[in-house]
Amino acid sequence: MKRIGLIRVLSSSDPRLLNIHGRAVREAFGVEVLSRAVQDQPEGVHDVETHLVAAPKVIALAADLAPYVDGIMISCSSDPGLKEVRDQLDIPVVGAGSAGAAAALALGSRIGVLALSVEPPGAVARVLGGHLHGAQSPDGVTHTQDLLTPSGVYETFLAAERLVDEGAEVILQACTGLTSMGVSRELRRRYGLPVVDAVLAAGSALTLHLGNPGARQHAADAFDTLSP
């Protein structure tokens, strides 16, 4: 069985929260996942400053993980340290932001981005280019921990509804905290659009590249192609 190293950019003492992305990837694609989190980032990555602070931590953590895994995924939609990690390692490395954006483009040409800010992560915007139809963020949410509250959940659905009203064909969850919330299925049900989970998109890309047998069976879990 292939083993993936999954890097979280959220520091927490809650093992359930820290391992939730690894569990989602393991259950979807039948791979072993070794999850590690950077230190001293209790609010994760939510702006340029926290991205810059996280990047060297991700690079160092990837180097520590590399001898024990077949590939690495950076479970953050801004892909901190992605280029540097790819340059220094000889195993495949995937970032959730760029993988999620690429998956969204496979499903439509007008991509609505659901993120922590109305300015989507740079890694997402670069891949989407002119197909970035719009971006919305939940009101009152400034970092990933805010999503895991009743008001965070409520405002997330309202933000998604705004994307639908603006004419988006596909919704991209460009904050990996939305994976922790587990809202993609309900978003699809409510709004009848394909919804891309960036964490699962990254897991799909990496496991397919590694040739893991379970990846082909479960790859559809990364993004739902069902029509409304």
**Distance separating alpha carbons of residues 221 and 202, to the nearest angstrom:** 11
CATH, range 3-95+199-222: 3.40.50.1860
What class has domain 98-198? alpha beta
What residues does each domain of the chain span? 3-95+199-222, 98-198
The answer to whether residues 57 and 41 touch, using CB atoms and an 8 Å cutoff, is: yes
Tens-of-pLDDT digits for all 228 residues of the chain? 899 999 999 888 888 888 999 999 999 999 999 999 999 998 888 889 999 999 999 999 999 999 999 999 999 999 999 999 999 999 999 999 999 999 999 999 999 999 988 889 999 999 999 999 999 999 988 777 778 788 888 999 999 999 999 999 999 999 888 888 888 999 999 999 999 999 999 999 999 999 865 544 444 444 443 333
Answer yes or no: same fold for 3-95+199-222 and 98-198. yes
**Distance separating alpha carbons of residues 214 and 83, to the nearest angstrom:** 28
